[in-house]
Chains A and B, each alone.
Chain A
């Protein structure tokens, strides 16, 4: 190896050759490069962080007008925040294009008896593999007096116990969906009507969306989903879901055809209400305006589109 090439001209009085010892200039250069590289990662993250001002500045077509007197209609803010995220410009291949609606759900936990009829209806409607080991809706049996998820029971046997209360959880179709932010290949996105969908033909199966979701709403098809031939819903994908993540779609195949979701239809107590927030006469719009509603893990700023009341 030729060492002569490494000999540089250096200023008179220099005490060390360039390249072999630590010098302040080189140290600063390396720190500068490191800072630059780190900043390259941090700056886009800062720019992408959801901010209230950005949402306010981009109201959707369906936003409700401001209330005279300076205060804003609470629904207008919610609707404005619920815009498309990573939307590729066309609906997911198994759904019709989104309309002008902004879909939302309200669940009355006082009325829920934990019968899991919503769970079964959802499994049948959405071609969930019968041996896949998951359901879109998970109903938690809770102790009265508090929301204590760590003490909640998921696999309870007896429904309707008067000393318990029941808490159904599913995909919240968040206005700021961590799952969509976390998908490395944009295989999942939020459509203009607020429904978070997954393109099963694009999902690489990395399961990062399941990591980022604070509601345990996403599930992975570890096995090829199997549904008896007579029970297959032809409007919902089946085989292509193998080895991809899936979750509640607010029954996109029904709701974009003027129907309600399967879970709402199946609920024997009417605990579930689904509708369009742009329609002031819808159940959900009325409930949000008139009742004390709350959302799960509100402090996470995911802005879920499912509210609880009770």
Chain B
């Protein structure tokens, strides 16, 4: 490599919208990287083709029916929106609560939040056979329909995440703007999760959904699964030398995860107690919940409890919590547990319909599965490419500057030229 002048941009780096896109990194990427990228492209294409099948042949290609009104897309929507929360909580804690140990994660966290919300929204759209009619959302929105709130919140949140990422990567506005963005993003994230929980909770027609605890349980599940996914991604990116983190950062993340997992499990137990306690039990509720404890839906719900308890047990021990394998295993278990939880939550609305008829468990059709896998692959594809070409590494000087400022603050500020 020849020496270059300081003012000349590095070869392969293209500056666009004030971001240094490292396109050159793609050219030097390993064949393994490219085979992974091509696999994701193929799966995304299969997903697009499956969606074309739905658009041309109608909803019959999907496994959903009158009795199972919503299916895979809705479980995925709840799952992805939840996962997006973890990133934001970590990012917000850097700027709002001074959790400096999470600062190296901030760009990665915001990127993940944006991409996951995008996938969640696209899942929603691919369920609509006449997707072009979506413009009625803007023309004649119904203010009593919760979909209007959660849909717009997700759209706004996604844009906010990408704008936030741009601010963090370019450094425009500095620390002050990043802090102000947090002040907007955090309430919007809470609002998004609240309205997503309301999609279920605000239905008196669906006994097991119609619970106020749905909102806090959505928030805890979201933060737990989001932090768990962030931890896994951080380990993967460290493994491939994309980013570097201190061990103490992973320990802090694992402690945060354990705390939120136990809150999440606690809320679930509270809900179950309310359904079965003799003075509260209603026949319609207990009958429906029993489908998930001992009936044909148990395979969906029992993993939520068992995987969740195992994940907490792994992280609860002080002596084992710092071991990377334990952290990764617990995180993976909890992400899987939350997926089952979303799937179960979706089923809880339909296992026994409003007219009391018991339904067989819903399994997505091949077309639905391909769309779901295609969307996930698309999200992973964007993520894989972004980790290569976007400057996700938080510069050391920025990290150091934050600590420096903390030190400087304890000193009296002097006007230039003023002598002591």
Show the binding face of A for B, using Cβ within 8 Å: 1-3, 5-10, 12, 14-22, 26-27, 29-30, 33-34, 36-38, 41, 44-45, 48, 86, 133-134, 138, 140, 148-152, 154, 169, 178, 181-187, 202-208, 210-216, 219-224, 242-243, 300
Contact = CB atoms under 8 A, between A and B. Distances in A.
B134 interface: yes
Given A150-B358, A204-B130, A214-B205, 5 more contacts: A21-B97, A202-B133, A204-B137, A207-B70, A220-B59
B238 interface: no
A14 B409 CA distance: 7
A275 to B, nearest CB: 26
B8 interface: no
B345 to A, nearest CB: 13
5 contacts: A1-B395, A20-B405, A140-B356, A186-B136, A243-B130
Contacts of B136: 185-187, 202, 204
B191 A37 contact: yes
Contacts of B191: 34, 37-38, 41
A138 B183 contact: no
**Do most interface residues of chain A lie in helix, strand or loop, or is the interface mixed?**
loop
Contacts of A30: 96, 182-183, 186-187
A16 B413 CA distance: 12
B349 interface: yes
B69 A205 contact: no
B405 A181 contact: no
A1 B171 contact: yes
Nearest to A210: B69
Contact of B142 (A10, A14, A140, A185): A185
Nearest to A19: B179
B347 to A, nearest CB: 13
B145 A183 contact: yes
Contacts of B402: 20
- Report which residue of A2, A20, A34, A220 has the largest number of chain B beta carbons within 10 angstroms of its beta carbon: A20
- Going nearest first, the 8 A-B pairs with the smallest beta carbon separation are A149-B356, A1-B171, A21-B98, A6-B175, A185-B136, A214-B205, A184-B147, A19-B179
Contacts of A138: 355
A150 B134 contact: no
A93 B190 CA distance: 41
B30 interface: no
A222 B175 contact: no
Interface in B392-414: 395, 397-398, 401-402, 405-406, 408-410, 412-413
Interface in B110-145: 127-130, 133-134, 136-137, 139-145
Contact of A2 (B65, B174, B178, B406): B174
Contacts of B137: 184-185, 204
Contacts of A45: 144
A210 B71 CA distance: 13
Contact of B174 (A3, A14, A150, A214): A3
A154 B355 contact: yes
Contact of A181 (B145, B182, B198): B145
A119 B28 CA distance: 68
Interface string B82-96: 000000000000011
A43 to B, nearest CB: 11
B8 to A, nearest CB: 20
Interface string B64-108: 111001100000000000000000000000011110100000000
A150 B352 contact: yes
A183 B65 contact: no
B144 A48 contact: yes
Interface in B365-411: 395, 397-398, 401-402, 405-406, 408-410
Interface string B217-252: 000000000000000000000000000000000000
Nearest to A242: B58
Contacts of B190: 34, 37-38
A216 B178 CA distance: 48
B142 A216 contact: no
Given A6-B174, A38-B191, A17 B408 contact: yes
Contacts of B64: 222
Given A3-B175, A149-B355, A204-B136, A22 B98 contact: yes
Contacts, number: 218
Given A86-B142, A182-B145, A41 B204 contact: no
B12 interface: no
- Report which residue of B134, B173, B356, B401 has the largest number of chain A beta carbons within 10 angstroms of its beta carbon: B356
Nearest to B67: A216
B140 A185 contact: yes
Interface in B184-207: 184, 186-188, 190-191, 194-195, 198, 203-206
Contacts of A2: 171, 174
B13 interface: no
Contacts of B9: none
Contacts of B127: 206
A184 B96 contact: no
A306 to B, nearest CB: 14
B353 interface: yes
Contacts of B355: 138, 140, 149, 152, 154, 169, 215-216
B59 A205 contact: yes
Interface string B134-162: 10110111111111110100000000000
Contacts of A212: 203, 205
B128 A300 contact: no
B174 A5 contact: yes
A16 B354 CA distance: 57
Contacts of A44: 143-144
Contacts of A17: 405-406, 408-409
B357 interface: yes
Contacts of B318: none
A181 B149 CA distance: 13
Nearest to A11: B413
A216 B195 contact: no
A163 B64 CA distance: 35
Contacts of B186: 30, 33-34
A130 to B, nearest CB: 14
B336 interface: no
B58 A224 contact: yes
A210 B67 CA distance: 9
A243 B59 contact: yes
A216 B354 CA distance: 6
Given A14-B409, A21-B97, A243-B58, A8 B176 contact: yes
Nearest to A203: B133
B65 A41 contact: no
